[in-house]
Structure 1
Amino acid sequence: MTGRSKFYSEKPYVIKNCIDQRKEIFVAKVKSYFPKSEYNNLLALPPIFKNIEIENKKDVIGEYMYSQAQKHSLPMTKKDRKLITLLDTNGQFMVFNNYYLWLLIDLGFIITDYKAIAVFEKNVAYEPFVRTMMNLRIQSILVGSSKEKFYKLIINASYGYDTLNTEKFGMIKMLDKAGTFIAQHHPNHMDTRRISVNTFAVQIKPKTATCFTSIQSGVLPQIMQNIGISIIYNFMYKCLDRKRFHFVLADTDSIYIAIAGDKDKDCHQQFESIVTDKQFYDQHVYQYLPDPNKDIYDCKKILGFGIENEGYKLTSLGPKCYSMIVNKWNNEKQQYVFKPKITSKALEQLHIDWHAIWKAIYEAGIKFACESKLCK
């Protein structure tokens, strides 16, 4: 975790030395790429996650998306920001934290230009707090207490509060109606809250800000990406049959994987049937996944992966929208048991049979796969 700033530099040799020595905690801005010789190894899940501006051109977004956008009269002249996965920095300077950049370099990342680097002190003050709250949360789970959610909320809320000094980034004024009307037309206006009949709290974004606590929020997504990519490339790709699993979707702190396992076993077999290097797998698997022979403390270990759901089939329509079949086909009821990641109560209130919807989606997907080139 980063602490106070140590120094900032735009000198290429300083930036290169900090990256190569692998001793400092830093955030660097560089331009780089993966060589084509690494493409086959990386294309299944390109390791660079970035939110960049995309031009809505046919050669960029593809012929199908371009034709659909034109068909529905969508604006094609403006640029859109999209979170995408890349194999290079798209000819731009991009920001990486030290752990993320080191991992990419280990995968074959080649840096071609250096822009700037900010080096920080190491901050370990937050760790004992997290471990204490996590232990209290686990104890609450063991006794079946509702405090478990409370401790989880404390950890999440404290992370954002303690590491980003938000009061330095917003100036709040108490104004009357006339003053509020003027302030709301100011380009730095952020928010307005009514306090009484003629009193308003108006938040203005100051031109400058001073922060004495460590700034983590911008680094957090890269930390999660680093952990996820490290597990995939340093564990899964080294001991599992890559032809028998693929990534369905991913989120900030989760990933959904479809595995072509043993058809005679249930859905709780995990990776057992697709292991190619048994010795490596046995040596490292429980560094990441929970050990069934241990207690909940191992299941909830920090930076470990917990299993949220297991099922027989997984269908995803898009980000944060998926359906998992948690039981096999029921011959008596002639249906699957679904576990959708949507608000089913809202659909039921509208008298919408979401079971039938997801079943139809699944059957349509199977039909499409069988009738298309996917199965030929």
Structure 2
Amino acid sequence: MMSKIQDAISQHNDTKSLYYKQILNSAFGGEGQNIAKFDKISFNNARQAQLKQLKQDHKATRKLSDDILNSDGEVIEETQYMVSESPRQFKCNKPLQEAELILDNNKFWYLNYIFNFLYKCIDMDRVHLCNMDTDSMYLAIAGSQIEGYKQRLNGFHGTIVLLLKRQNFARITSEPQGENIVCLAPKCYSLYNGNEQNNGIESLMSRMKDVSEKKANLTTNDYIKCLNDGCNVKVTTNNSQMKLGVKSMIGMEKSALTVIHNKMVVLFNGCCAPFMYGINADHYLVE
């Protein structure tokens, strides 16, 4: 699939390149998750359930029904139990180690690109790294005051910048662009135009974790309030579940926006450091 993407890029076919990219991303997500069910579930009578409970593989037992008697008091159907067993050995056909290697290797080259290319080739006094993800980053650029917010690197000068503009070096492309951005945590941000003091905010893009963006109905003002006041913004989500043949609607309250960051170690000056065994924020020296 990667070869097809490269062929489409060499042919300058953006539609086909994006199509194959979407297929590759969805396939990688499926292969990188071990969704196989290794528990063995069986339905047994009381005698069989009692024997299986003595095994080391036994996990749980649940009663499903009682004895059914006829008019003469005879048992026509015995009590049924559902027994769950967890085998001590099983076979996994998913290439999990390949997916983990790709993710770890991607993080290495991501940091290598930032420190060995971006920081050395661009005037970082005019660029602020706001947010980053696995394959993208959001930059606040102080460029030309005449051009609008879609100027990208046009306000910069130098040989390296000209190379970036002409050759599209390292496949740098811009997707959403705006005047302001509020970043609360990884994959939790809001991009907007306008000024919150004048109530003229135009929301361009908002992202949040573990909550549907359409059902939450949050605005950019919620992100700004969460950042300034340090409060949690909660929303109620409704999900339908099927249990024992009965379908019910369950309402659950979740924290859509929060100032808590549990992905990295946050230092007292706001900088973030990766998790390492035995290392906490007190072990870092910040000037």
- The question of whether the paired residues in 2 share the 8 Å contact of 1:180 and 1:202 is answered with no
- Give 1:282's match in structure 2, choosing from 162, 165, 183: 162
Matched letter for residue 335 of structure 1: G
The aligned counterpart of 2:186 is 319
- The question of whether the paired residues in 1 share the 8 Å contact of 2:8 and 2:16 is answered with no
Quick one: distance in 2 between partners of 1:269 and 1:161? 38
Matched letter for residue 200 of structure 2: Q
The aligned counterpart of 1:357 is 222
Quick one: distance in 1 between partners of 2:115 and 2:162? 17
Alignment of 1:324-363 (within 5 A): 324-325=191-192, 327-329=193-195, 334-339=199-204, 340-342=206-208, 345-348=214-217, 354-358=219-223, 360=225
Highest relative contact order (Cα 8 Å, sep 6+), 1 or 2? 1
Quick one: distance in 1 between partners of 2:164 and 2:94? 39
- Give the percent of matched residue pairs that are identical in Structure 1 and Structure 2: 19
Alignment of 1:220-231 (within 5 A): 220-231=102-113
Quick one: distance in 2 between partners of 1:200 and 1:266? 65
- The question of whether the paired residues in 1 share the 8 Å contact of 2:189 and 2:223 is answered with no
Match status 1:249 vs 2:118: no
How many aligned positions are there? 203
| Other structure's SS at 1:272 match | coil
- Give 2:148's match in structure 1, choosing from 266, 272, 296: 266
Distance 1:213 1:249, change over 3 A: closer
The aligned counterpart of 2:3 is 128
Quick one: distance in 2 between partners of 1:252 and 1:152? 15
Distance 1:245 1:199, change over 3 A: farther
Deviation of 1:266 (Å): 1.0
Deviation of 1:129 (Å): 5.7
Matched letter for residue 280 of structure 1: I
Deviation of 1:360 (Å): 5.0
Distance 1:206 1:358, change over 3 A: same
- The question of whether the paired residues in 1 share the 8 Å contact of 2:191 and 2:203 is answered with yes
| Other structure's SS at 1:316 match | strand
Quick one: distance in 2 between partners of 1:140 and 1:172? 40
Match status 1:176 vs 2:176: no
Deviations 1:157-191 (A, max 9, x none): 43356688x69x864535225788968x968969x
Give me the CA root mean square deviation. 4.9
Q: Which has the higher helix share?
A: 1
Quick one: distance in 2 between partners of 1:270 and 1:311? 11
Matched letter for residue 264 of structure 1: I
Match status 1:233 vs 2:121: no
Matched letter for residue 281 of structure 1: V
Quick one: distance in 2 between partners of 1:180 and 1:322? 52
| Other structure's SS at 2:97 match | coil
Distance 1:216 1:335, change over 3 A: same
Please say which structure displays the higher CA radius of gyration.
2
- The question of whether the paired residues in 2 share the 8 Å contact of 1:245 and 1:257 is answered with yes
Deviations 1:92-143 (A, max 9, x none): xxxxxxxxxxxxxxxxxxxxxxxxxxxxxxxxxx6436557999982497xx
The aligned counterpart of 1:154 is 23
- The question of whether the paired residues in 2 share the 8 Å contact of 1:177 and 1:200 is answered with yes
- The question of whether the paired residues in 2 share the 8 Å contact of 1:347 and 1:354 is answered with no
- TM-score between the two structures when normalised by the length of structure 2: 0.51
The aligned counterpart of 1:23 is none
Alignment of 1:145-224 (within 5 A): 148=19, 154-159=23-28, 171=38, 173-176=40-43, 204=86, 206-207=88-89, 209=91, 215-224=97-106
Deviation of 1:215 (Å): 3.1
| Other structure's SS at 1:217 match | helix
Quick one: distance in 1 between partners of 2:14 and 2:123? 36
- TM-score between the two structures when normalised by the length of structure 1: 0.41
Quick one: distance in 2 between partners of 1:180 and 1:309? 59
Structure 2: runs of 5 or more not aligned: 61-79, 231-287
